A and B are shown apart, each in its own frame.
Chain A
Amino acid sequence: MIAELGHFALIIGLCFALMQSLVPMIGSFKGYSSWMRLGYSLSLGQLFFVAISFVCLVCAFLMDDFSLKYVSQNSNTDLPAHYKVSAVWAAHEGSLLLWALILAGWTASVALFSRALPLVFSARILAVLGAISVGFGLFLLFTSNPFERLLPMTPLQGSDLNPLLQDIGLIIHPPMLYMGYVGFAVPFAFAIAALIGGQFDSAWARWSRPWINLAWVFLTLGITLGSWWAYYELGWGGWWFWDPVENASLMPWLVGTALMHSVAATEKRGVFRSWTLLLAIFAFSLSLLGTFLVRSGILTSVHAFAADPERGVFMLMFLAIVIGGSLMLFALRGPAMQKVAAYQGLSREAMLLINNVLLVSSMVMILIGTLYPLVADVLELGKISVGPPYFNFFFVPLSMGLVIAMGIAVFTRWKATASALLMSKIPLPLIIATASGIILPFVLRADSYVGYSVTAGLTLFLTAWLLATIGIDLKDKIGINLTRIAKLSRSYLGMQLAHSGIAICVLGVGLNAAYDEIRELRMAPGQSAMVADYQFDFVGVNRVSGPNFEAYRGQVNVLKNNAPVANLFPEKRQYNAGGQVMTEAALDPSLARDIYVSMGEPLADGAWALSLQVKPFIRCIWLGGVMIGLGGLLAATDRRYRRRKKPSPIMECNNG
């Protein structure tokens, strides 16, 4: 009964979305303001019904309604309640419903917060968002219905949620990620509305900025969470694999970052109008492309959902219409590229252009690498694999270039920068960076690492460079009086925080790559081993029982210089429902280093293969990611976005 209610609610939600996609749009062309205003209530209605549908699915899981095919495939009576809820989005159908819900949520937010926009503009935005909702609604109802029943043979027990997903990571990572993916539909809709209306002035840029920032923040945090989750869950200590599904989230992020910067220049200086529009279209297009890649079975991935070619064709058609249509609109009505240079070489605009180029190049490279196996297969060139060696080969230098440019950009001015100014600012951070790069590797790794690590040196150079330039710019603005920080605008502070986050992230990535130590050892209870400066004592293994699994639980005591550091309890679990075996690693986290222990296979005579890892500075990667996200959030809540009435242009300029 609940399932039927949910199914019905979804259909009604689709009807609302259909109306929402047509009525305000037609009204905008005919000038019917009542039709245009309808977009507001239609979007709220859509959210209401899609939310009911979602809640019904959650109830079905909590009530163990195994007559629903989706519930029986992803749940089990022994599954703890919080995992039953997160199981809703564990597989294809339910996660799509989450997509639809989040899309309805963003749409309603746009409706609520766009009262100050011209009616024609906001009507078109809501119509575009409605059209996208229609696409997803149709996809759900016709190919991926989570409310499909398994009658008359209702199973008494479900297959259980994949043990890898029985974790807090599943509770927060997908919703956060989808908030970001779906969030970019909003600037997309803004761009389409602007293209339809033929208006590309700074006002359009100003209105779309907070939405871009917010979507980007969610995507940043979603990716960071995903990386952290993979690290502690998968059991071998890696945090990024350049897997197609991971790339599918990184590409919109790179374009979203470029978009964020590009729209700032469009708002402030009216430049990059075509770039910004195109990037807004690209960002959401890459979200959709990612959705397609992950769910169509076209690429092999550990993260992929179950494949179904029929769904693949439907999604591809949807992609072709949405992306092809928007790019066609862009080609026909987009503003021609500016012929007159409005800025000089050493200007902030030029730096932002360099920023865009580097980010988009990275995205294109990742796209080519991810899709090349497919292209080669279609062209009968053979089965080729493209993995981390390829992606790192290009991404590392591109990122290095970006970090260097970020440091220089801090000191540039709009329109033109006197080269004398740059010449006066650059030497100090350069000296600090070089000194850090040469000296610090010896300081940080005095004990066990022998010699100089070039990787560490480069990393420290880049991190110090970026942090030094940020610090110097801050000092220029507030002197040594730290209380004056409160006077700086949130968007400035957010920017510096986010950029610092990048520096910390780079620090984590580079130093971990330089100093990571992994040993795979055969250990019997009572044996001991040294890795880096830590002593690992294998005490033994016990059998334990969990709510829905049986496990071997090992104990490894970690010491440094004979002082106890941590007692770690890695597990090798076997889940009751499906018999899957899973490795549960044990961690002793800290900012300076993670100690990571996991159990491999049991060997003869009670011995086990253990993986012992000492991972310096790896936490900085996710700390950096969180800082980046927080920086974006800070910037998104800048005073100018929270103002209720429309400010006059002159007032805007003089505000801090």
Chain B
Amino acid sequence: MPANLMFRLLLVSLLWLMPFGLINDHAHLSASTEVVEFSDPKLRDRYYQLVEELRCPKCQNQNLADSNAPISTDMKAQIQLMLENQHSNDQIKHYLVSRYSEFILYRPEVNENTWFLWFSPLFFIILGALVVWRYAFSGRSPEQSMTTLTPEQQKQLSKLLDQQDDKL
């Protein structure tokens, strides 16, 4: 094979292999560092939990995790600092709320201002359960409303109803 062709082939194959060449040898890879570093993975989990539950005070309805606003960055840094200093989640939230008001809590506190918010769904579900109980389980037999049918007709009715069961 002519020398220049061989050389070109070699060059091309090297170029093709280069991306792999850059990353083939794991031993020389440097580990990346976390953007937000923690000494303990449990702290990291709590961090992500908090950062998703807290609202950015400046944005149009975003949590701290999804927000790039400078104030979000500051708040995230503060949270990280307090986590590393062994503060509890409640302490961290309280610290931030006393500065930025309860607006930043996506999970509103349960107090006299929010009892309607937290308890009305339960009320509606119980109401719904009562409705179901009243209309479906109140014990009155449907047979009482069918006394005008002869047994033959009742059998026909059952058969027709069974056929309907195939379809909604």
Contact = CB atoms under 8 A, between A and B. Distances in A.
A394 B128 CA distance: 15
A390 interface: yes
Given A236-B65, A557-B23, 8 more contacts: A238-B66, A268-B164, A304-B60, A376-B114, A415-B142, A527-B30, A528-B26, A539-B23
Given A368-B120, A390-B106, A529-B31, A601 B68 contact: yes
Interface stretch (B1-9, B80-88, B129-137): B129-137
A308 B132 CA distance: 43
Contact of A350 (B22, B66, B132, B141): B132
A343, A384, A495, most chain B CB atoms within 10 A: A384
Interface of A: 234, 236, 238, 241, 243-244, 261, 264, 268, 300-302, 304, 338, 340-345, 347-350, 353-354, 357-358, 360-361, 364-365, 368-369, 372, 376, 381-390, 394, 398, 413-416, 477, 488-489, 491-492, 495, 518-524, 526-529, 537-539, 557, 559, 600-601, 609, 635, 653-654, 656
Contact of A357 (B22, B101, B132): B132
Given A369-B117, A381-B113, A653 B164 contact: yes
Nearest to A341: B140
A520 B66 CA distance: 12
Contact of A654 (B59, B61, B62, B163): B163
Q: Which 9 A/B pairs are nearest by Cβ-Cβ distance?
A: A387-B106, A357-B128, A389-B107, A350-B136, A365-B121, A345-B137, A381-B113, A521-B32, A520-B35
Contacts of B90: none
Interface residues of B, number: 61
B167 interface: yes
Contacts of A522: 32-35
Interface string B147-168: 0000000000000111111111
A301 B59 CA distance: 9
A414 B136 contact: no
A384 B68 contact: no
A382 B35 contact: no
Contacts of B129: 357
Contacts of B16: none
Interface in B63-110: 63, 65-66, 68, 101-108
B161 A600 contact: no
Nearest to B118: A390
A341 B128 contact: no
Given A384-B108, A526-B30, A357 B60 contact: no
B136 A264 contact: no
B168 A264 contact: yes
20 contacts: A236-B65, A300-B60, A301-B60, A301-B61, A302-B59, A341-B140, A344-B136, A350-B136, A357-B125, A361-B128, A383-B101, A384-B103, A385-B106, A388-B63, A389-B107, A414-B165, A477-B166, A492-B168, A528-B31, A654-B163
Nearest to B101: A383
B136 A349 contact: yes
A361 B103 contact: no
A317 to B, nearest CB: 27
Nearest to A302: B60
B136 A345 contact: yes
A341 B135 contact: yes
Nearest to B136: A350
A349 B101 CA distance: 48
A268, A341, A415, A495, most chain B CB atoms within 10 A: A341
A385 B108 contact: yes
A238 B23 CA distance: 30
Given A383-B101, A389-B106, A390-B117, A348 B142 contact: no
A341 B131 CA distance: 12
A388 B61 CA distance: 11
Nearest to A653: B160
A300 B61 contact: yes
Nearest to B165: A413
Interface in B34-73: 34-36, 48, 52-53, 55, 59-63, 65-66, 68
A352 to B, nearest CB: 9
A492 B137 CA distance: 27
B13 interface: no
A656 B59 CA distance: 56
Contact of B161 (A364, A413, A559, A635): A413
Contact of A342 (B32, B33, B142, B164): B142
B96 to A, nearest CB: 13
A488 B52 CA distance: 47
B123 to A, nearest CB: 10
A158 to B, nearest CB: 23
Given A527-B30, A654-B163, A557 B19 contact: yes
A341 B142 contact: yes
Contacts of A343: 136, 142
A340 B66 contact: no
Contacts of A241: 61
Contacts of A528: 23, 26, 29-32
Contacts of B30: 524, 526-528
Nearest to A299: B61
Contacts of A527: 29-32
B104 A385 contact: yes
Contacts of A398: 125
Contacts of B131: 353, 357
A357 B55 CA distance: 32
A415 B164 CA distance: 11
Contact of A244 (B33, B61, B102, B141): B61
Contacts of B102: 382-385
A615 B56 CA distance: 25
A347 B136 contact: yes
Contacts of B132: 350, 353-354, 357
Contacts of B120: 364-365, 368
Nearest to A583: B68
B166 to A, nearest CB: 6
A361 B136 contact: no
Contact of B124 (A338, A342, A361, A413): A361
A239 to B, nearest CB: 12
A519 B34 CA distance: 8
A554 B129 CA distance: 55
Nearest to A603: B35
Contact of A414 (B61, B63, B164): B164
A292 to B, nearest CB: 17
B53, B103, B108, B131, most chain A CB atoms within 10 A: B108
Contacts of B160: 653
A69 to B, nearest CB: 23
Given A384-B113, A385-B105, A518 B55 contact: no
Contacts of A264: 168
Given A340-B140, A557-B19, A523 B163 contact: no
A227 B48 CA distance: 22
A173 to B, nearest CB: 19
Contact of A353 (B121, B135, B164): B135
A388 B51 CA distance: 12
Contacts of A600: 35
A414 B157 CA distance: 11
Contacts of B55: 385, 387
